[in-house]
Amino acid sequence: MIVSIGDVMIDAYFQVPDHRNPRTDTHGRVELAAGGSAANFAVWVARHGRMSGLIGCVGDDFLGRGLAAELEAEGVCPYLTFDPDPECGTGRVGVIVAANGERDMICDRRANTRLSPEDIPEEVVAGAKWLHVSGYAFLEKSPAKAVRRGIDIAREAGVPVSIDPAAYSFIQALGRQAFLELCNGATVILPNLDEGRAMTGLGRPEDVAACLLDHFPVVGLKLGGDGCLGMARQWTRMAGMTGAGARAGEKGPQATVRFAAAPTQVVDTTGAGDAFDAGFVIEYSRGAGLAASLARGNEMGARAVSKMGAR
């Protein structure tokens, strides 16, 4: 099973008209959809035929129960904690979509902030094929401790870990070194360019990836409309993996791969990074190698932006 840890949300998409009537109603469109970075990743994995599990926290309310049922319907095993506090509730995001497909997000994390180390099912993580972490879980102390427990369990069991940093503003506020310490032990880092710049203080994609390679064996840098760039300083063959690669712990030659963006019409960029992450991990976890993993991530990210919604 490929297991993810992190946020589970309900997304509200506001397609804002060019003209709004001040101090009264304006006709528009609001769509509700299941979301959350870790949940999006888990659904993309399940839709591509891999066993998928999700560890997270939702409210013990109609939204949380509905999201749990939706995940099961998608083929995801939900290892969810239901927070009973009526003042908390399930996390929600307001997404304001512009005409060019870019979006602004207003996040109300709620129950996601309550994930605790006790909520991490040790046997699930230790028995996983791969563990993926949504960096949003690092935003608060309790879920950050939960994620670190998950990473530590995975490392002890020999389970590879990928991390999507998720928010460049948090990295800037926390500081590069402190954030890198939170990510310690990850096999693969999957930032976008803004996050990569925040983690390194560098500008050019090649420089960002090379710097991150000092901290992580594999880097998959998402460049939006410019595609993606990947670097690897060692090939790691984990238990059960096949294909090109050295035995775990052996140093191999550095590999650098770059792909242009897959042609597509951009409708909504929400969740594109989650789809890319899922594509990359699906391939890399079965030993397909850096190039094939980047190509699959690129293709799935392009599919995500071609329609409204994160999935």
Residues 70-96: tens digit of each pLDDT: 999 999 999 999 999 999 999 999 988
pLDDT digits (tens, 9 = 90+) for 244-276: 333 344 455 578 999 999 889 988 788 999 999
Using the 8-state DSSP alphabet, how is residue 93 labeled? Answer: E
Write the DSSP assignment of 233-264 as a string of letters.
S---B-TT--SS-PBTT-----EEEEEPPPP-
Q: What is the pLDDT of residues 163-183, one digit of tens each?
A: 999 989 999 999 999 999 999
Please indicate, yes or no, whether the overall pTM of this predicted structure exceeds 0.85.
Answer: yes
Tell me what the mean pLDDT of segment 117-134 comes to: 98
Q: Give the per-residue pLDDT at 100.
A: 64
pLDDT on residue 253 = 52
Confidence of residue 8 (pLDDT cuts 50, 70, 90): very high
Q: Is 8 helix (H, G, I), strand (E, B) or coil?
A: coil
In the structure encoding, which two tokens stand for residue 209, read together?
A: 């990836």
Angle between helices 272-284 and 37-47 (to 10 degrees): 50
How many whole angstroms separate alpha carbon 154 and alpha carbon 308? 34
62 Cβ contact partners less than 8 Å away, ≥ 6 residues apart: none
State mean pLDDT over 210-233: 96
CATH class, domain 2-8+37-89+110-305, is: alpha beta
Predicted confidence (pLDDT) at residue 132 exceeds the cutoff of 60: yes
Q: pLDDT tens digit string along 284-297?
A: 999 999 999 999 99
Domain residue spans in the chain? 2-8+37-89+110-305
Using CA atoms, how far apart are residues 253 and 245, in angstroms rounded to an integer? 10
pLDDT for 28 equals 84
Beta carbons within 8 Å of 172's beta carbon, 6+ residues apart: 198
Specify the pLDDT at position 95: 85
- pLDDT at 237 exceeding the cut of 80: no
- What is the pLDDT, as a whole number, of residue 245? 36
Please determine, for residue 185, whether its predicted confidence score (pLDDT) is greater than 80.
Answer: yes
Q: What does the alpha-carbon distance between residue 301 and residue 261 come to, in Å, rounded to a whole number? A: 9
Q: What is the mean pLDDT of the chain?
A: 91
**Residue 86: both structure tokens together:** 């009526």
